[in-house]
Amino acid sequence: MMKYKELGLKLTPQRLSILSCLEGNRDHPTAEDIYRKVSKKFPTMSLATVYNTLETLKRHGKLASITIDPDKKHFDPNLEKHHHLICSSCKKIADIHIDFDLAVPREATQGFQITGSQVEFYGICPECRKKSGR
């Protein structure tokens, strides 16, 4: 938790609980998911505290965000280069740790200097396929 003090975050018990919830989390939770989990221990904590903490972490490069639904931003504490599988039905997100050769032809870059990429694959997860009989 020492690495977070450098960000200027006051490490309150509520924030420590949010950070603990993120540590090693591979479920790509939303702020609301984290709030539901942490508010069980801290019922007076506000959703704004969760949002502010997540945005501070994101701003300092300690957290990535994934927007697959314009109404819900998902957060990913895994900063290793990886891609995502997204269920079109339930919106579950899974990681793919395979590197793809995504060389963009120079004429297609429109003058951009490409510094990174992330691929999102969409499909139906096993649980949703089972429910629908596919």
Amino acid symbol at 34: I
pLDDT of residue 116: 81
CA distance 94 to 79: 14
> pLDDT (tens digit, 9 = 90+) per residue, 84-110?
999 999 989 999 998 887 888 989 999
The residue ranges of every structural domain in the chain are: 2-76, 83-132
From the candidate CATH numbers 1.10.10.10, 1.20.1090.10, 3.30.450.20, 3.40.630.30, the one assigned to the domain spanning 2-76: 1.10.10.10
Instruction: Extract the residue ranges of the chain whose pLDDT is less than 70.
Output: 1-5, 134
Alpha helices in 23-134 (DSSP H): 31-38, 47-59, 126-132
Q: What Rg, from alpha-carbon coordinates, does the chain have? A: 17
pTM of the model: 0.76
Contact 33, 22 (CB under 8 A): no
Instruction: Give domain 83-132's CATH architecture.
Output: 2-Layer Sandwich (3.30)
pLDDT of residue 100: 80
